[in-house]
Amino acid sequence: MKIALFASGTGSNVRNIIKHFEKNKNVEIASVFSNKANAGALLHAIEAGIPTYVFSNQELTDVDSVYKIIEKQELDLIVLAGFLLKIPKLFISKFEGKIINLHPSLLPKFGGKGMYGTHVHRAVLAANELETGITIHYVNENYDKGAIIKQFKIDLTESDNLEAVQEKIKWLEKTYFPITIEELTNKL
- pTM equals 0.95
To the query of whether residue 103 is one of the catalytic residues in this protein, the response is yes
Q: What is the mean pLDDT of the chain?
A: 95
Range name among 53-57, 67-71, 101-105, 128-132 with the lowest pLDDT average: 67-71
Burial class for 79, CB neighbours closer than 10 Å (0-12, 13-18, 19+): buried
Decide if domain 2-187 falls under CATH 3.40.50.170: yes
pLDDT score, position 150:
98
Q: Which of 103, 119, 121, 137 is catalytic?
A: 103
Res 62 pLDDT > 90:
no
Q: In this predicted model, what pLDDT tens digit does every residue of 33-49 receive, in sequence order?
A: 999 999 999 999 999 99
pLDDT score, position 117:
92
pLDDT score, position 61:
82
Q: In this predicted model, what pLDDT tens digit does every residue of 85-126 receive, in sequence order?
A: 999 898 899 898 999 999 999 999 999 999 999 999 999 999
Domain definitions of the chain by residue range: 2-187
Going by pLDDT thresholds of 50, 70 and 90, the confidence category of residue 68 is confident
